[in-house]
Amino acid sequence: AALAQRNSLSSSDVYLWSQQIQARALELACYRTAQAIAIYSPIQNEVDTGSLLEAALASGKKVFMPRWSGQEFGFARIASPSELVAGRFGILEPIGVIGLTATDRRDLVVFVPGVVFDSRGNRLGRGRGGYDRLLAQCNVSERAVGLAYEFQVGEALPVQPWDRSMHYVVTENRTIDCSVNLRHASMGSMEN
């Protein structure tokens, strides 16, 4: 239902809400202190990331985006939007070499798309597990930020052992600190 609702959004709603979401994301402490970010190329009315890209490049942060190279899927650095070309599945990808240094991993904030999120940071994506693999490679559990429209935030989602949680979920209406919700959930289960 969330995917159908997202696909039916008008371009003006996508633009307005994406601008609001990105403005909130730019205020996150983890973004402000990060030396590097990873963003995605939006498809099918996903939250746009253009303002995040521009702000990060303007402030001197390293910017990485996902790329397929043969059977390898990882982040490659870009210095300009002109370094993006249509890749696998027709999604814009960087032309650079895949790879993150240890310093990049330590200083990286990853902005993640999804179909549905919950307030504990769980996420349902497209079902291929690509972002779960990327997040596992980066080890950024405290710096993973889901970008979603408010209607994409639902009740508790089913979780698989390989799923990676978000630290924050940012919508046009709010910023959800998922670590707070996880602490409350675990405290509640200890009390029962």
Q: Is 99 helix (H, G, I), strand (E, B) or coil?
A: coil
Tell me: the pLDDT tens digits for 24-47?
999 999 999 999 999 999 999 999
Give the pLDDT of residue 140: 67
pLDDT tens for the 192 residues of the chain, in order = 888 999 999 999 999 999 999 999 999 999 999 999 999 999 999 999 999 999 999 999 999 999 988 778 889 999 999 999 998 778 999 998 888 888 888 889 999 999 999 999 999 887 667 788 888 877 765 689 999 999 999 988 888 888 888 999 999 999 999 987 654 444 344 344
Residues 6+ apart with CB under 8 A from 150: 171, 172, 173, 174
Residues 6+ apart with CB under 8 A from 156: 118, 120, 122
- Write the single-letter amino acid at 130: G
Helix, strand, coil abundance in the chain, percent, nearest 5: 40, 25, 40
Give the pLDDT of residue 111: 96
The pair of structure tokens assigned to 179 is: 């670590």
What's the CA gap between 177 and 103, in Å, rounded?
Answer: 25
CA atoms within a 13 Å half-sphere pointing along the CA-CB vector of 116 = 14
Give the pLDDT of residue 37: 96
Is the pTM higher than 0.85? The answer reads yes
